[in-house]
Chains A and B, each alone.
Chain A
C-alpha cells in the first residue's frame, strides 16, 4: 500500500500568480527512497511543505497512510502531533530549525513535546549526539555553530523523534568532504532500517547510491 499519495495537486502561493505545482500526482511506498530533482523554482520545496502539512493545495488530495491530510486534520492536536512525529523534515536552511538555547536542548525539544519520560529523552539526546559526534558541542548555543554543524544538529533533532518518513531538502549542500561522506553513510543506514525517504538533491552520488527511483519536477509553463 502507498504510504504517501498525492493526487492531482495544484498549488499557488498567491491567487494571481501561476501555480507552482499543477495537476501533480505521486506515490511512495513504505521503505522507498526517492531522489527529487528539478531546476530552481520547479516546486521541490513547495512539494515538501505540502507533504509536511505546512501548506495546503487549492485542489487535489493528499493522503498519508490512507488518511486525508487537510486543514481540518490539524485541528486535532493529538493527530497533528502523531503526524509530525511520523514525518521528519530537514529544512533547506537549518538556521530556522534551531531555536533553543543549546544543542542539547535542541535535540530534547521534539521528544519532550511527545511527552516522553525525562530519562528516555536524555537517552535519545545522548544517542543522537553520538551519531554525529556532537558531544563537544552539546552545551553550545546553536547560533554559534558553523553552517555544516548546524545542518548536522538540525538532522539530529529530526532523528531524535524517530520518524518513519524522512523528507530532506538538500541535505548535502554546503558540507565539507568528510562530513558529506559520513552523512551519506548514515543515510544509507537509515534506508537499510526501512525509513521512507524523499531527498531533494543535485548530488549525483547520493542519487546513485541511495535512490530507488528519481522524481523529476518541472516548473509548469504559464
Chain B
C-alpha cells in the first residue's frame, strides 16, 4: 500500500539555489575526459614522430623563455600561428581558447605594473605574448599527438620504464575514476532539485567515494598484474 502523499501530484516548489559547484565540476571534468578520449585519430598521417614533436616543443619553450630579441619572438609567433592556420576551424578555436584566456589573465595581472611603471611596459607585453605562445604550443602539441605516443616517446628518450608505466597507469585511473565521479555528479545534479544545505558533505561524499574506489582499483590492478606473471621486478616494465 503506497502512502497517500504519493498518489497526489507534488506541489512543493523547491527554492532556487546555485548548486553551481556541481555544474562547474561536471563541466571541467567533462572537458578533461573528452580531451583524453578525443585524441585518437587527430594525428595526421604524415605527422612527425612523437619523440621529435616532444623535443621540438621543449626546445621551443626554452627558446621562447630565454628570447629577448623581438625578431626571434616574431619568428616563433609566425611559426606557431602558421602551423595553427593549417588546422580546421573548430580545432583552432579549441586550441586558441585557453591560450587567449591565459594571455588575458596575464595581461590583467601585469596591468597594474604597466600603469605604475610605463618603462617596463614593453617587457610586460612581451611576457603576455610569451604566455600566449607557450600555451598555444602546448595545446597544439597535445591536440595533434596521441597520448600513448607521448609516453612511447618518453620511453625512447630513456625515461625509466617504471615512470612511464606510472604515467600510463595514472591516465587510465583518471579516465576510470573521472567517469565514476562524473556519473555521481550527474546523479547528484538530477536529484538536487532545491537547495543543497550540506554542500561540504556532498563534496566529502563524492570525493571520499572516489578515493575508496581508487584504493579498490589499485588493489585490483595489482592483482591483475600478478595474474599476468608480474613479480616485484619494476625494472622490466
Task: List the interface of chain A (C-beta within 8 A of B).
Answer: 52-54, 77, 80-81, 84-85, 87-89, 91, 93, 95-102, 105, 109-110, 112-115, 139-144, 157-158, 161
Contact = CB atoms under 8 A, between A and B. Distances in A.
The CB with the most chain B CB atoms within 10 A, among A93, A102, A141, is that of A141
Interface in B184-237: 217, 220-221, 223-233, 236
B236 A113 contact: yes
A102 B217 CA distance: 19
Contact of A85 (B37, B147, B229): B229
A96 B229 contact: no
Contacts of B175: 143
Contact of B229 (A52, A81, A98, A139): A81
Given A113-B236, A144-B37, A144-B40, A99 B224 contact: yes
Given A91-B220, A100-B168, A141-B147, A81 B228 contact: no
B127 interface: no
Contacts of B176: 95, 143
Interface residues of B, number: 29
A209 to B, nearest CB: 26
Contacts of A96: 217, 220-221, 223-224
Query: Main SS of the interface on chain B?
Result: helix
A95 B175 CA distance: 11
A101 B217 contact: no
Interface string B150-187: 01100000000000010011011001100000000000
Nearest to B155: A101
